[in-house]
């Protein structure tokens, strides 16, 4: 790796990783619908058009010992960002780290599948790193838009060929798309769907990324492509930035606390955009949003339509907003013990489970125990739905021949 100029940013002291834990006892077949990867340094090698080979994103090492991505002459420090799996809780940080300071499973697919086996995870949906952006926005913001589109395609090729292709039963193929040109973005979704992608990630509030708001007709080509190809649109919390902080607020602590509030706001915006009403086949997953807020949203929608008169702008009189929510949206639980009782209102068939490897909210390597603590009192049929069957149906992803329990 070539060295770059001194950046003047000190590296944090990093403690060694803990030894590998014993593999979990698998009591439930789990398909986790929200985990993350860290793109390895070779992601773009051999996948870019020749004229862009020298301008592809690359990992370099600074004089201070950081490993960083550089793209269009801009350094990105997010290598290893929030990759805390395998560290003691007191050592959980959001600072970046070198590849050799994080679990190899963050960026090596063979090691990832070993970590999935340790944690008792059958299959996993993997979102991009903080460099690419949870909503895959980085390359759409490129100064050279042709280069940006080439990077989007190369990233998807790497994901499909290496990350998914090495273990197709274990990794659900989720892609990114080109957001600054909806026609080209739709074309990329269709290209991916033809070869087996079943999901795409999008920023949950695109106007926060300088893009048109979701209420704008600008987005129709992408929406239509997702609906017509049955590509699940995944809206990850934080994919378009985090909640605005008042002056003096503890940003990390307050931002993390507001995850569910952010999901509530984003979901309401997407619902009232009318896209789901216009495209009944559209499938939207509120990734890492939790479920604690969903029952309240349903109550509010029903009240608006039944009493207040504020719902006159709803575009489809044949279906209520709350029924449209249940038809077109799925919700992802990770730490919602007090709200499992709201499952009948939400619809058990609309609830998925996630482990969030390798982030601080993640449950690895205790995912099996966490699921039992959350859902162990539910009937076995409902446990199976939440653990794997709902996700398998939504993402059209195979389950093993024997499902536990």
Domain coordinates in residue numbering, the chain: 31-37+107-395
Residue 2 has pLDDT above 70, yes or no: no
Q: Which residues contact 210 (CB under 8 A, 6 or more apart)?
A: 141
Determine the pLDDT at residue 7.
61
Residue 4 has a pLDDT of 52
Could you tell me how far CA 155 lies from the centroid of its own chain? Answer: 15
| Mean pLDDT confidence for 230-244 | 93
Longest dimension (CA), the chain: 65
| Residue 133 in tokens | 């952006």
Measured CA to CA, the distance from residue 75 to residue 6 in angstroms comes to 12
Q: Give the mean pLDDT of 37-53.
A: 98
Contact between residue 356 and residue 34 where contact means Cβ atoms under 8 Å apart = yes
pLDDT of 244 reads: 82
Which residue would you say has higher pLDDT here, 122 or 6? 122
Rounded to the nearest integer, the mean pLDDT of the chain is 95
pLDDT of residue 89: 82
Residue pair 18/87 in contact by the 8 Å Cβ criterion: yes
Confidence class of residue 96 from pLDDT cuts 50, 70 and 90?
Answer: confident
SS (H, E, C) the chain: CCECCCCCCCCCCCCCCCCCCCCCCCCCCCEEEEEECCCCCCCCCCCCCHHHHHHCCEEEECCCCCEEEEECCEEECCCCCCCCCCCCHHHCCCCCCCHHHCCHHHCCHHHHHHHHHHHCCCEEEEECCCCCCCCCCHHHHCCCHHHHHHHHHHHHHHHHHHHHCCCCCCEECEECCCCCCHHHHHHHHHHHHHHCCCEEEECCCHHHHCCCCCCCHHHHHHHHHHHHHCCEEEEECCECECCCCCCCCCHHHHHHHCHHHHHHHHHHHHHHCCHHHHCCCCCEEEECCCCCCHHHHHHHHHHHHHHHCCCCCCCCCCCCHHHHHHHHEEEEECCCHHHHHHHHHHCHHHEEECCCCCCCCCCCCCHHHHHHHHHCCCCHHHHHHHHHHHHHHHHCCCCCCCCCC
pLDDT at 5 over 60: no
C-beta atoms surrounding 155 within 10 Å: 22
At residue 266, the pLDDT reads 98
The Cα angle at residue 117 between residues 112 and 118, in degrees rounded to 5:
95
Q: Which of 89-98, 266-275, 300-309 has the lowest mean pLDDT?
A: 89-98
CA 27 to chain centre: 25
Could you read off the pLDDT of 152-207 as tens digits, one per residue? 999 999 999 999 999 999 999 999 999 999 999 999 999 999 999 999 999 999 99
Residue 9: band (very low, low, confident or very high) from pLDDT cuts 50, 70, 90? low
Residue of higher predicted confidence among 10 and 386 = 386
Give the pLDDT band (50/70/90) at residue 259.
Answer: very high
> Do 38 and 83 touch, CB atoms closer than 8 A?
yes
User: Does 3 have pLDDT greater than 80?
Assistant: no
Question: Is residue 39 packed enough to be buried (19+ CB in 10 Å), middle (13-18) or exposed (0-12)?
Answer: buried
In the predicted structure, residue 1 carries a pLDDT above the cut 70: no
Q: What confidence score (pLDDT) does residue 337 get?
A: 93
Contact present, 293 and 261 (Cβ < 8 Å): yes
- What is the pLDDT, as a whole number, of residue 95? 76
* Strand pairing category for 232-236 and 199-202: parallel
Q: Give the per-residue pLDDT at 8.
A: 62
To which residue do tokens 């009591």 refer?
27
First to last CA, the chain: 48
Burial of 262 (0-12, 13-18, 19+ CB in 10 A): buried
Tokens, residue 201? 């990630």
pLDDT beyond 60 at 120: yes
- pTM, two decimal places: 0.96
Answer with the residue of higher pLDDT: 254 or 190. 190
Alpha-carbon dihedral 254, 255, 257, 263, rounded to 10 degrees: 150
- At the fourth CATH level, which superfamily is domain 31-37+107-395? Metal-dependent hydrolases (3.20.20.140)
Looking at 88-102, 160-174, 359-373, which range is the least confident one?
88-102
% residues pLDDT > 70 (the chain): 97
Q: What is the pLDDT of residues 372-388, one digit of tens each?
A: 999 999 999 999 999 99
């Amino acid at each position: 790796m070539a060295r770059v100029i001194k950046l003047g940013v000190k590296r944090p002291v990093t403690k060694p990783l803990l030894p590998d834990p014993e593999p979990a006892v698998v009591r439930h077949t789990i398909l986790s619908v929200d985990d993350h990867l860290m793109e390895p340094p070779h992601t773009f090698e051999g996948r870019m058009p020749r004229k862009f080979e020298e301008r592809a994103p690359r990992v370099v090492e600074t004089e201070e010992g950081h490993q960083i991505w550089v793209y269009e002459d801009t350094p990105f420090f997010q290598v290893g960002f929030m990759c805390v799996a395998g560290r003691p809780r007191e050592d959980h940080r959001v600072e970046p780290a070198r590849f050799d300071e994080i679990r190899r499973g963050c960026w090596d697919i063979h090691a990832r599948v070993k970590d999935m086996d340790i944690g008792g995870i059958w299959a996993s949906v993997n979102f991009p790193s903080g460099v690419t952006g949870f909503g895959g926005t980085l390359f759409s913001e490129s100064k050279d838009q042709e280069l940006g589109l080439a990077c989007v395609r190369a990233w998807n090729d790497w994901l499909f060929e290496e990350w998914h292709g090495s273990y197709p039963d274990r990794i659900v193929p989720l892609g990114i798309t080109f957001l600054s040109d909806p026609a080209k973005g739709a074309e990329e979704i269709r290209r991916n769907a033809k070869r087996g992608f079943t999901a795409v990630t999008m920023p949950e509030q695109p106007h926060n990324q300088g893009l048109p708001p979701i209420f704008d007709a600008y987005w129709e080509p992408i929406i239509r492509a997702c609906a017509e190809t049955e590509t699940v649109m995944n809206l990850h919390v934080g994919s378009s930035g985090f909640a605005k902080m008042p002056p003096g607020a503890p940003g990390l602590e307050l931002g993390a606390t507001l995850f569910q509030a952010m999901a509530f706001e984003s979901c309401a915006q997407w619902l009232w955009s009318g896209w789901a009403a216009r495209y009944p086949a559209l499938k939207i997953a509120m990734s890492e949003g939790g479920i604690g807020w969903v029952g309240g949203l349903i109550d509010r929608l029903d009240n608006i339509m039944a009493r207040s008169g504020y719902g006159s702008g709803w575009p489809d009189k044949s279906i209520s907003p709350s029924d449209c929510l249940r038809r077109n949206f799925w919700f992802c639980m990770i730490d919602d013990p007090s709200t499992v009782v709201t499952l009948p209102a939400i619809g058990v068939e609309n609830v998925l489970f996630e482990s969030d490897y390798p982030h601080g909210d993640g449950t690895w390597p205790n995912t099996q125990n966490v699921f039992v603590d959350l859902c162990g009192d539910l009937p076995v049929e409902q446990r199976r739905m939440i653990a794997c069957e709902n996700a398998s149906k939504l993402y059209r992803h195979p389950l093993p021949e024997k499902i536990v329990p």
